[in-house]
Amino acid sequence: MLAVILQQEWRAFPLWLPVGMGAGIVGYFARSTEPARAVLLLPPLVALLLLALRRHPAWAWPAALGLMITTGYAVPAWHASALPAPLTLPGRAVIVTGSVETVQTLPQGLRITLSGVMLDEGPGTLPRDIRLRLRKDDPLHPSPGDRLRVRALLRAPSAPAYPGAWDFQRDAYFSGLGGSGFAIGSAERLQEADRAPVFATLRASMEQRVATALPGSVGAIAAALITGGQSAIAPDAMAAMRDSGLAHLLSVSGLHIAIVMGLGFGVARCAIAFWPWLALRHDGRLLAAPAALLLGLGYLALTGFQVPMQRSFASAALMTLAVLLGRRVFSMRALALGAVAVMLIQPAAVLGPSFQMSFAAVMALVAGAEATAGWMTRWRRSAEWWRRPLLILMGSVLTSVLATLATLPFGLFHFGRIQLYGVVANMLAVPVTSFLIMPAALAAAALMPLHLESWPLAVMGWGVEVVLWVARTVASWPGAALLARPMPAWALALTSFGMIWLCLWRSGWRCLGLPLIATGLCASFWTAPPDVLVSADARLIAFRTDGAVVLHRASGASNFIRDSWLRGWGEDEAEPYSDKTAGDDALLPCAGLICRFQPREGSRAALLLKPARTRRGETAPPVTAAPACGQEAAVLISPEPIRGRCEGIPVVDRFSVWRNGSHAIWLEPGGARILSDREWRGDRPWVPRPPRPAWERRQENKPLGVSSAEADRSGAPGP
């Protein structure tokens, strides 16, 4: 029976090779330590094994799959070894000098990315880029290629908000970003661009002209649809697009490049048809296809080589090659080729929502088209006039349903939201985008060199207003965007594998993917979230039960971390801690400077040790563990360092998070299970090294023959 199934599915086996490559990439990032350099030798060795087994198909396919897995494992390791180390940035204001790479428009001003950066106290050019937000009232409007100097405060990329959250430091490491910050003075142009980046300059110019013709949110969305830059969109408009399920329209993807290349192909064929000498001697398709591909390549460069566009362009290139060779195009194979191309160029993109949602949606659409091709063809050939309009309507509904269902697990994992009415919103907005907005955008881009873009931009603005109205209307419906607790990472992997199994196979055993998908989607119901979270600076401490979240917050705490915690818990608000809400019947009852948290019956309690309040000018007494000793507790928590220890009770205080980052705590009957961010991520190139005490740094920097006490008195470097 198995042999018969394998024989029937033999043509689908090559489609699993990119899946193996993706599994290898995920395996690399799942490690807690960096693999040895010898891992780069694995793909050549497996390739030699594949050559030896090429005459034995039963063994050659497992060897090919092994080659893709080892390649996926080695590619990110090679990328990581070739990239410069993360930067150590000063903690005070510095003079930053660099060349402008990109200019992005924000609702509060401009954000620029600088390359070739030099600091006033640095030894030379930094090997990584720096992203800065200029002052809102800065009169300077820089262009790509300009060399600027500005006084700014810099900070390194942020650590994850909690263990297991999105890793901004990993994302910055592979993207070449070294840090970000904001200007505290006006920028000064040292030198105008002599050789400005062509596409970055073109992108900035087009965004500025679109914003001039279409002010407000309409112009920001129109610019995003043309160039892919979403930074200028107002928060309320972005929230409406997200909650209605239309946020994918703002990210340039396969839909946009298909429209652009399709229109380019049609215009090129019409132009060839109007030239009889050329049309009678050559096949118009063979001439129009490369022209459309060049147009798509230009659009890809204009939008900044985003991941969905890379996938779409790789598929379009394969289709163009098939047209030129007179071969039939296999859509799923084109998708597989696009996946391999993206993973080779940007292996870290596999972990991001853009890659996952883009490929999942297209895979589901291709599989759905293959499964329904037979009866759709029969409907199309029928003579009744009403069947064709009904078929178009059914195709639109089916497309929206498949894309929504395919991206639902990834949206739930990354954003903790479920858009209930996304099908309705897409049915109304996608046709407007396809038949009105994007053709007008292409016409506007073509007419911009002649300064005649005003009328197509006006038409585009009408379409954007319709889409924005749909987004705001659907987002206002009850329960439009439901909050839900994100599934764990292993559950997303299980769901993804089930979706791939369901879409790639063609026989009945493809249905075995359905229970895998269901198991992954339901995993959050039996996976216990943390009971307590402590931020990396100990300014935020959150306590959660099934009914509420209480937040102990110090001055200067991050709102972003708070929102990330609530999203990770599937909550929309937290109850701020105060003495009035900490009575005996509260979630966090306090007695003196000790608050007791016990989320459920049978679990051990966590004790929050609060610092004593002082008047201005007074010195607060140190937080000590002595009053908590003798109480039955699983863990002691404090926003300040705790003096002393209690026998058998672990401590999470300001020193703990200073050394190991944010902490997550589960309170169980047997005690507390504590997980730090450093334990979760391990020792990787993008994870900062553990900080060292000041005395160690002084010892390392003291002159030979000088004691530690003498080095301290002489002013050796401190913390």
pLDDT single digits (tens) 191-242: 887 776 777 778 888 888 998 899 888 998 998 888 877 888 888 999 899 8
Least confident of 176-180, 234-238, 525-529, 713-717: 713-717
Written as six digits, the tokens of 714 are 């002489």
- The residue among 584 and 10 whose pLDDT is bigger is 10
Residue at 408 is within a domain: no
Residue at 374 is within a domain: no
Residue at 8 is within a domain: no
State whether 668 and 703 are in the same domain: no
Residue at 63 is within a domain: yes
Write down the pTM of the prediction: 0.87
- Among 196, 221, 236, residue at a domain's last position: 196
Residue at 411 is within a domain: no
State whether 126 and 165 are in the same domain: yes
Residue at 52 is within a domain: yes
Torsions phi, psi for 711 (to 5 deg): -65, -40
Bridge partners, 663 (sequence order): 534, 676
Which residues have C-beta within 8 Å of that of residue 444, sequence separation ≥ 6? 210, 226, 453, 456, 457, 460
SS3 276: helix
Residue at 379 is within a domain: no
Residue at 88 is within a domain: no
State whether 75 and 113 are in the same domain: no
Helix (H) or strand (E) holding 226: helix 216-227
Distance CA 226, CA 471 (A): 19
Of 482, 434, 419, 427, the C-alpha closest to 244 is 419
State whether 239 and 115 are in the same domain: no
State whether 447 and 537 are in the same domain: no
The CATH number of the domain where 119 resides is what? Answer: 2.40.50
**CA angle at 181 for the pair 179 and 183, rounded to the nearest 5°:** 145
Tell me what pLDDT residue 371 has: 83
Bridge partners, 668 (sequence order): 671
Q: What's the Cα-to-Cα distance from 574 to each of 453, 486, 562, 606, 667, rounded to whole Å?
A: 49, 18, 9, 19, 20
Residue 489 near residue 164, CB atoms below 8 Å: yes
- Among 82, 114, 136, residue at a domain's last position: 82
Torsions phi, psi for 385 (to 5 deg): -70, -30
Residue range(s) defining the domain that contains residue 64? 13-82
pLDDT in tens, 573-587: 888 887 656 665 677
State whether 125 and 20 are in the same domain: no
Rg over alpha carbons for the chain, rounded to the nearest Å, is 29
Distance CA 220, CA 211 (A): 7
> Can you give the length of the chain in residues?
719
- The residue among 638 and 258 whose pLDDT is bigger is 638
State whether 188 and 217 are in the same domain: no
Tell me what pLDDT residue 719 has: 34
State whether 212 and 285 are in the same domain: yes
Residue 337 near residue 318, CB atoms below 8 Å: yes
Least confident of 9-13, 564-568, 595-599, 670-674: 9-13
- Among 135, 170, 196, residue at a domain's last position: 196
The mean per-residue pLDDT over the stretch 382-409 comes to 79
Which segment, 109-113, 266-270, 662-666, is predicted with the most confidence on average?
662-666
Residue with tokens 């607790």: 485
pLDDT greater than 70 at residue 75: yes
State whether 626 and 548 are in the same domain: yes
Tell me what pLDDT residue 707 has: 35
pLDDT in tens, 424-443: 888 888 888 888 998 898 88
Residue with tokens 């060292």: 692
State whether 47 and 143 are in the same domain: no
State whether 229 and 317 are in the same domain: yes
Question: Using 50, 70 and 90 to split pLDDT, how confident is the model at 5?
Answer: low
State whether 216 and 98 are in the same domain: no
Distance CA 69, CA 36 (A): 17
Count of structural domains within the chain: 5
Written as six digits, the tokens of 147 are 């060399």
